[in-house]
């Protein structure tokens, strides 16, 4: 019997699940629990956990199957797998199995004016890479396109912020819900036997990688972006420019084509719109494609389909292997869980997985914010820098820091 199965059976066996509960976020305990919410529901998962965090991608799917199959055999069917999968196949994921979980299907989000919060003060902010290095990376990508090595790659950057006081994690997740009415909001504890620190991954992703209920699946890939405008006329100009931009439509089409190739063998029916539509978050406009499908086999798990899709060219590039290699050569920082996937998979294989973007890892007074942008032939290094800057605003808003970046 493998280690993972041992852990699952010992830790999960004796705990009973609660099926429905209200106001789950108020019960969230940082460094202990995992929280995930959509506009439809909230999910809170509590210990005891069997951690599958050290499992690498290559063995992840098999370990999860073995663990869940074993639990079924011993009569433990009502458990859930929850957490975050890293971008890089060699990097640890943060996945946990528990029987102690609650769904709130009456979950609602109330918009609250974000000026009502007392903002944190940033004592120091370090950009990694620097603006010059990021722009050099974009130029490097453009030269690879000219040499026909690849057609798209996503480059990212980080903001390392030290605040004047400890970040209130539950409060920040609450703010993310209040200010991102349609986003997928998450708080995932990061556990590792080797990790010295107790970090938490928090964020509000607008991008649905994969949702599965029975044999029905859906996905909403995003690629192609413009920051939100300040006035109505600016909003119209920016959104219409995005919808008709040859560069952004090409960038988007590569993502959709790659997802189509992955999902086709899984599906007896797949509906992909001919052209993308516009969606917005409080900080960005995006090109989005709403994909629906029916699986050949309803027993395939949401995790398996999501792992087959991951990483899509929305966070990696095209072709995938060449882009992944180019990213590792150009980016000097670790992505970790950023541009991975976060979500859950229940004992029936149903679940929701979203792309881990518009997020930060936080601990004490420190936060590392992440943002990336898709680069294709015709991209401008300055514009991609500005775009990633606008994407940071999801988390900067949640910390009460938007427009205060020069404050030391
Ligand atoms: C990698 C990120 O965004 C991806 C998702 C939506 C739009 C994107 C873009 O237009 O570049 C990116 O592909 C991020 O927000 O950090």
- pLDDT, tens digit (0-9, with 9 covering 90-100), for 136-145: 999 999 999 9
Q: Does the annotation mark 11 as catalytic?
A: no
The pocket around ligand 1, CB under 6 angstroms, is made up of 154, 207, 222-225, 286, 314-315, 339, 357-358, 371-374, 391
Compute the average pLDDT of residues 297-303: 94
For residue 384, the ligand 1 atom closest to its alpha carbon is 11
C-alpha 314 to ligand 1 mean position (Å): 6
Catalytic one of 46, 152, 170, 212:
152
- Does a structural domain hold residue 179? yes
C-alpha 355 to ligand 1 mean position (Å): 10
For residue 224, the ligand 1 atom closest to its alpha carbon is 10
Domain enclosing residue 46, as ranges: 3-109+121-398
Q: Give the CATH number for residue 260.
A: 3.60.120.10
DSSP 52: -
Ligand 1 mutation pick, 205, 370, 391, max ligand atoms within 8 A of CB: 391
Q: Does the annotation mark 62 as catalytic?
A: no
Q: Determine the straight-line distance between the first and last CA of the chain, rounded to whole angstroms.
A: 54
In this predicted structure, what is the pLDDT of residue 359? Answer: 98
In this predicted structure, what is the pLDDT of residue 61? Answer: 77
- Does a structural domain hold residue 403? no
- Give how many domains the chain has, as a whole number: 1
* ipTM value: 0.99
Asked whether residue 108 carries a pLDDT value surpassing 80, the answer given is: yes
Which is more confidently placed, 247 or 405? 247
Name the least confident of 4-18, 51-65, 134-148, 385-399. 4-18
In this predicted structure, what is the pLDDT of residue 51? Answer: 72
- Does a structural domain hold residue 174? yes
Q: Look-up: residue for tokens 């690629």? A: 223
In this predicted structure, what is the pLDDT of residue 112? Answer: 64
Return the H-helix or E-strand segment holding 357.
Answer: none
How far, in Å, are 8, 80, 299, 310, 332 from residue 188 at the CA level?
A: 19, 14, 27, 19, 25
Which is more confidently placed, 394 or 192? 394
- Does a structural domain hold residue 260? yes
Compute the average pLDDT of residues 63-85: 82
C-alpha 256 to ligand 1 mean position (Å): 14
- Does a structural domain hold residue 114? no
* Percentage of the chain modeled with pLDDT above 90: 75
Compute the average pLDDT of residues 127-154: 98
Return the H-helix or E-strand segment holding 336.
Answer: none
Catalytic one of 174, 207, 226, 251:
207
**Contact (Cβ atoms closer than 8 angstroms) between residue 102 and residue 92:** no
Which is more confidently placed, 74 or 272? 272
Q: Is this structure's pTM higher than 0.90?
A: yes
**Contact (Cβ atoms closer than 8 angstroms) between residue 212 and residue 234:** no
Give residue-wise pLDDT tens across range 171-225. Answer: 999 999 999 989 999 999 987 666 566 899 999 999 999 999 999 999 999 999 9
Which is more confidently placed, 65 or 366? 366
In this predicted structure, what is the pLDDT of residue 62? Answer: 78
- Does a structural domain hold residue 392? yes
C-alpha 122 to ligand 1 mean position (Å): 25
- Does a structural domain hold residue 404? no
- Does a structural domain hold residue 308? yes
In this predicted structure, what is the pLDDT of residue 196? Answer: 60
Count Cβ neighbours within 10 Å for each residue of 80-119 and write b for 16 or more, e otherwise: bbbbbbbbbeeebbbbbbbbbbbbbeebebeeeeeeebeb
For residue 371, the ligand 1 atom closest to its alpha carbon is 16
């Amino acid at each position: 019997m493998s280690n993972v199965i041992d852990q699952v059976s010992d830790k999960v066996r004796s705990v009973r699940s609660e099926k429905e509960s209200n106001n789950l976020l108020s019960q969230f305990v940082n460094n202990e629990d995992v929280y995930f919410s959509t506009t439809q529901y909230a999910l809170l998962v509590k210990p005891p956990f069997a951690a599958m965090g050290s499992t690498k991608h290559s063995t992840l799917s098999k370990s999860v199957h073995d663990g869940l199959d074993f639990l079924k055999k011993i009569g433990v069917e009502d458990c859930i797998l929850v957490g975050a999968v890293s971008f890089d196949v060699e990097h640890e994921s943060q996945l946990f199995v528990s029987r102690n979980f609650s769904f709130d299907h009456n979950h609602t989000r109330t918009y609250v004016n974000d000026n009502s919060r007392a903002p944190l003060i940033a004592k120091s902010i370090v950009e990694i890479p620097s603006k010059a290095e990021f722009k050099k990376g974009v130029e490097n990508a453009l030269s690879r396109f000219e040499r026909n090595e690849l057609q798209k790659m996503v480059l990212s950057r980080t903001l390392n912020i030290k605040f004047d006081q400890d970040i209130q994690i539950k409060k920040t997740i609450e703010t993310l819900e209040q200010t991102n009415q349609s986003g997928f909001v998450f708080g995932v504890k990061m556990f590792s036997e080797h990790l010295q620190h107790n970090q938490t991954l928090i964020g509000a992703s607008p991008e649905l990688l994969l949702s599965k209920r029975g044999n029905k699946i859906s996905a909403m890939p995003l690629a192609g972006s413009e920051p939100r405008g300040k006035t109505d006329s600016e909003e119209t100009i920016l959104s219409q420019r995005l919808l008709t931009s040859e560069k952004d439509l090409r960038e988007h089409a590569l993502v959709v084509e790659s997802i189509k190739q992955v999902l086709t063998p899984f599906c007896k029916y797949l509906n992909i719109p001919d052209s993308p539509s516009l969606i917005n978050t409080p900080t960005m406009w995006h090109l989005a494609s709403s994909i629906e499908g029916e699986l050949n086999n309803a027993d395939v798990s949401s995790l398996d389909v999501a792992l087959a899709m991951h990483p899509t060219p929305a966070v990696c590039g095209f072709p995938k292997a060449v882009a992944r290699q180019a990213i590792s050569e150009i980016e000097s920082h670790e992505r970790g869980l950023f541009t991975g996937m976060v979500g859950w998979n229940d004992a029936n294989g149903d679940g929701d997985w979203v792309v881990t973007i518009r997020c930060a890892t936080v601990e004490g007074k420190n936060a590392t914010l992440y943002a990336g942008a898709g680069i294709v032939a015709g991209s401008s290094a300055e514009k991609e820098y500005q775009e990633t800057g606008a994407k940071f605003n999801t988390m900067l808003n949640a910390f009460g820091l938007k427009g205060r970046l020069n404050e030391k």
